[in-house]
Amino acid sequence: MKCPTPLLVPHGLIAKSVDLKAQVKSNNKNNSNASYNTDVLEELQRFREFFTQSTKEPSDEEDVLKRMNEYLSVMWGFVFAFEQKGIKQEEKIQVAEQQGDSMVLIKPTPSQKPDPPSPSKFSKLRNSMSFEWCSSQKNNKTNAKVNDSLYEVVMVLLSVINILSQQAQYSVMNDNGKKAFKTLLRAYGMCVQATELSKELDSSAMNALPFELNAFERSKVMLQIIKSQVQEMGFYAAMEKEDKQELVAKISRGAYESYLQCQSLISNADATVAPYSSFVDFKCSVWEVFCKVYSAVYCNKNEENGVAVSLVRSAKSSVPSVIQKSKSLYKYKVTEDSLINVQRDSLVSACDRFDAKFTKENSIVFHQQVPDNIKELPVDPITMGTPTPFTFPKPHAMWTPEVYSSFNISEYLSNTVQQQDIVMKEQPVVSHNDPVVQDKKRERSPEIEEEAPQQKKKSARYDSGGISLCVIC
């Protein structure tokens, strides 16, 4: 399947320093877990470095995903809490019961094993470390240094989404549309997860960051962009089928409306959003033209030639805008320039070809009046593609309830985080047919506000200091 379409490949995200600050210690110096806690911290550093190395020059998509899951499994206890339910150890005592003149040995009742940990609560260690990230975008000189392990997780997901987008673009350039489609569906599922997790980040800390490093805003926009690109893949797949004019018209309108939603999500708050807005503006113009052209094809098939002529001429009048926006997109280097040209040229060719064809048919066969303006397109939009679900990896073997409970952070973080776990809000199920998650107030529940009133301090959550020289390489 050929998909001659440029895909967004955002500027890379660079994982910089992680500051442990000796904030996490054992409750008891004589506790056997004290050295084990040190091992946890060392393993976190080590797996973060492995992950960072795999993202620098990614050649194998599966290797990057493997490294990501390894690192997230080590991060588990710093993000999510362990809940111990049931009996910890198997009962080994056998009971003798008198039955008549003899003693009968009763086998012990099978013990209930501890329930496996699940990401239902946030960890007491969530704010015990600060993680620093920056963007590879030249005009973004700001580093984000955030005291939140959940921010680290979302940024890891976003950096892998970038790599998957790059891999999908390579597949498109090699005329392997099926592989590109599969890769985008995987990125789509990760975007759903990143968007849901990012809702739990501190809104004031995120709003202080540029768009590129604002995990909440970037996740939300990337989710809609990838959803739109999946729609494009569906369009080109439908184009290869015979007698599917109506389907092609509906998918093209779906792509146009999906990119319009992207446009409404992107604010022009800072310069780092410009590559995204330029890409989305170009795509909106492209798909406005395509959905008019292929709606015209559908109308002409149903002998509504006059409407078809009007739609094609309307589409053709928008071509100069597409050409202008394609030139503006070149400078940002967030997609393949040659594919910008291919998609633009195919659009111009379709307009010229169908305008000549429908006009000729109207003059010879149909003799229908051509309306001056078509206010409503004759087809309804449909969406394509179901995201590949992303499953958070299980905790690393080093994480046990005992090790988790042995960490003591109260004396170091009394001003920023309470010892008790922070309960995660119930996450709604996001369907691929749902509209994009809209901007909403991300306020903590009254219970959380009551438990942790001091978490509102922005200074403890965000530090936009100078460029760090502690780079993992």
pLDDT band for position 121 (50/70/90)?
Answer: confident
What is the mean pLDDT of the segment spanning 54-65?
A: 85
Query: Is 287 contained in some domain?
Result: yes
Task: Return the exposure string of 337-350: e unless at least 16 CB atoms fall within 10 Å of the residue's CB, then b.
Answer: eebbebbbeebeeb
Cα separation, 340 vs 162, whole angstroms: 19
Strand stretches in 361-445, DSSP E:
407-408, 422-423
| pLDDT > 70: percent of the chain | 73
Q: Is residue 438 pLDDT above 80, yes or no?
A: no
Instruction: Give the least confident one: 114-123, 126-135, 170-179, 376-385.
Output: 114-123
> In the chain, what percentage of residues exceed pLDDT 90?
55
Domain holding 343, by residue range, is 13-83+116-463
The CATH number of the domain holding residue 232 is 1.25.40.280
Give the mean model confidence (pLDDT) for residues 31-38: 53
Q: Of 332, 7, 325, 8, which Cα lies nearest the Cα of 140?
A: 332
Please report whether residue 186 resides in a domain. Answer: yes
User: Residue 110 pLDDT more than 70?
Assistant: no
- For the entire predicted model, the pTM comes to 0.79
Task: Examine the pLDDT at 79 and tell me if it is beyond 80.
Answer: yes
Predicted confidence band at 18 (pLDDT cuts at 50, 70, 90)?
confident
Cα–Cα distance measured from residue 152 to residue 340, given in angstroms and rounded to the nearest whole number: 33
Residue 352 CA to residue 293 CA, distance in Å, equals 10
Q: How far apart, in whole angstroms, are the C-alpha atoms of residue 19 and residue 82?
A: 24
Residue 356, domain member (yes or no) = yes
- Exposed (0-12), middle (13-18) or buried (19+): which is 1, by Cβ within 10 Å? middle
- CA–CA distance from 123 to each of 76, 82, 128 (Å)? 9, 8, 10
Domain count within the chain: 1
Domain assignment present for residue 208? The answer is: yes
* 102 belongs to a structural domain: no
pLDDT of residue 20: 63
pLDDT of residue 81: 86
Checking if the pLDDT of 460 tops 70, the result is no
pLDDT digits (tens, 9 = 90+) for 201-257: 999 999 999 999 999 999 999 999 999 999 999 999 999 888 899 999 999 999 999
Q: Could you give the CA distance from residue 79 to residue 165 in angstroms, rounded to a whole number? A: 26
Average pLDDT of every residue of the chain: 79
Give CA angle at 156 (424, 184), nearest 5°: 100
In a domain, 192, yes or no: yes
74 three-class SS: helix
**How far is the first Cα of the chain from the last one, in angstroms, to the nearest whole number?**
38
Averaged pLDDT, 311-318 = 96
Predicted confidence at residue 431, as pLDDT, reads 39
**Quick check: helix, strand or coil at residue 106?**
strand
In this predicted structure, what is the pLDDT of residue 261? Answer: 95
Q: Kindly state whether residue 5 falls inside one of the protein's structural domains.
A: no
Residue 400 lies in a domain: yes
Q: In what helix (H) or strand (E) does residue 381 lie, and over which residues does it extend?
A: none
Q: How confident is the model at residue 429, as a pLDDT?
A: 38
pLDDT higher than threshold 70 for residue 107: no
Separation CA 330–CA 27 (nearest Å): 56
